[in-house]
Chains A and B, each alone.
Chain A
Amino acid sequence: MSIKIEHISKSFEDVTALKDISFEVNEGELFGLIGPDGAGKTTLFRILTTLLIADNGSATVAGYDAVNNYKDIRNHVGYMPGRFSLYQDLTVEENLEFFATIFGTTIEENYDLIKDIYVQIEPFKKRRAGKLSGGMKQKLALSCALIHKPKVLFLDEPTTGVDPVSRKEFWEMLKRLQQKGITILVSTPYMDEAALCDRIALIQDGKILEIDTPQEIVKHYPKKIYDIKADKMYELILSLNTYEHNHSVYPFGEFVHYTDQRDDFNPTELIQFLEDKGLENISIQPTEVTIEDTFMELAR
């Protein structure tokens, strides 16, 4: 077991950040912590990286206790905090060199681990980190977090504020790192990134809603979801909200995701209802459940 969390709770003054959190991350697993801002993701990361002490419960990382063996953990984990936390006035190369030195290693020693990430920013190695684009900053931060060959990698919202192309590249890099045997705990507010993890924990308001593989989580969804579309979006939502049998009505891109309270839901009946409300070009199609649907259902 690479990370083991047992009944962790943490409060700040009058805010409860984490409520009785327990889960385990296996060795070599890519584990995602999925939840919105303020769900408690960062607090949990800080407890695991020994930056905070939990009020209750215990945690081990790579076999070391998060409180008593904090020095060992600090030697063996890589940590990339939520905001870009490198020295902006140092160049790419100087940043990497600095982190290599404080971890008692050199760039050469672990070069093969960071190679395929670092080569992408190497042409800019004389540039100050503050002058890099978002995607490049993120690659540099990842290189710095990996330079000492950590056993466990903690990535707190690495893709927030990064454009889709860089996001995609970043996840591809994580997959390759995982193949090298590094355990990765990554947090993200983007539900669509959940599918890229081996297992995920959905978290909101300091509570874990569910833990499983992304495939299993969507299977657990209790209802059948329908994509509904009509000419006027706002009227459609208003009408659906007044429909007495509705279970949930959520706008979802160009559609509305609709679930019905009844097991024997009949779309034609709803079409009739909507037509009576004056809506036109109505279509109702069954659709696939997404992690986001599950999240909303669990958070209700």
Chain B
Amino acid sequence: MKKTNVIKAENLTKMFGEFTAVNAISFDVKKGEIFGFLGANGAGKTTAMKMLIGISTPTSGKAEVAGFDVYKNAENIKKNIGYMSQKFALYDDLTVKENITFFGGIYGLSRTQIKEKRTTLINELGLQEVSNELVSSLPLGWKQKLAFSVALLHDPKIIFLDEPTGGVDPITRRQFWEMIYKTAHNGTTVFVTTHYMDEAEYCDRVSIMVDGKIEALDTPKELKKQFKVDSMNDVFLKLARG
């Protein structure tokens, strides 16, 4: 059975005045895939991702996300994707429960759905004892796991993760990746943007952006083979240094 593509981008371009931030990138992401979207700061990752999640209109090119066109159906795209960034994910001054209820409401879940999801989520993450504590009092790792689960509340087709595990301790980080594997296993596509190359090693396929263009796209294993190096970090160094 051939898996369907949930993200299709064809010559997607974004220009700011004379400056080409994203230069005719083309790629497909399959259902249930963990796709790494790599690049240095300023390579155009964020701009490209903003076009895919429907908050920035491309200058030219085509893109379809979760079956919807980025030009015409941006609102439908937003309903079908989840987003989590390391910088902002949850409200620190709300409790665990309040955060879940709030985001559930934002995603348009009904009251009973929210209640149901809240209970399963808290049980799955083992947060029963702290469900009425402020999120600010939780350890970083717990926060991130909770944020990830909250971004999945509305069962999105694709979840976009922006540098999800920077700075987290190695064990929590593994637990986090196990959650990502599980999500992908359940059929949700995971789109990870990062400039941390060790996060890239976990992805099914990765693309590397340099100066607005996708310079490499393959599985980490193939890329390492192609560049004759041992790690994604070295692949990146070879690419960026030309």
Contact = CB atoms under 8 A, between A and B. Distances in A.
Interface string A162-196: 11111010000000000000000000011110000
Given A134-B41, A164-B233, A253-B201, A237 B167 contact: no
B228 interface: no
B168 A36 contact: yes
Given A234-B184, A253-B220, A160 B167 contact: yes
Interface in A132-179: 133-134, 160-166, 168
A251 B177 contact: yes
Interface in A176-234: 189-192, 204, 232-234
Given A164-B237, A250-B174, A37 B41 contact: no
A168 B140 contact: no
Interface in B197-215: 197-198, 201-202
Contacts of B221: 254
A37 B168 CA distance: 6
Interface string B151-180: 000000000000000111111101001100
Residue of B41, B171, B172, B240 ringed by the most chain A CB atoms within 10 A: B171
Contact of B182 (A134, A163, A191, A234): A234
Nearest to A37: B167
Interface string A46-79: 0000000000000000000000000000000000
A253 B177 CA distance: 10
B202 A251 contact: yes
B166 A191 contact: no
Interface residues of B, number: 33
Interface string A250-265: 1111100000000000
B181 interface: yes
A253 B167 contact: no
A38 B166 CA distance: 12
A295 B181 contact: no
B236 interface: yes
B101 to A, nearest CB: 27
B195 interface: yes
A251 B178 contact: yes
B72 interface: no
B241 interface: yes
Residue of A161, A164, A234, A299 ringed by the most chain B CB atoms within 10 A: A164
A252 B178 CA distance: 11
Contact of A254 (B139, B140, B220): B220
Nearest to A299: B171
Complex A-B, nearest 6 residue pairs according to Cβ-Cβ distance, in ascending order: A253-B201, A163-B40, A36-B169, A37-B167, A234-B181, A234-B185
27 contacts: A36-B140, A36-B169, A37-B140, A38-B139, A133-B42, A161-B41, A163-B240, A164-B197, A164-B240, A165-B240, A166-B40, A190-B198, A192-B198, A234-B178, A234-B181, A234-B182, A250-B171, A250-B174, A251-B174, A251-B181, A253-B220, A254-B201, A254-B202, A254-B221, A295-B170, A296-B174, A299-B169
Given A35-B169, A163-B236, A299-B169, 12 more contacts: A37-B167, A161-B166, A163-B41, A165-B241, A168-B237, A235-B185, A237-B178, A250-B174, A253-B202, A254-B219, A299-B170, A299-B171
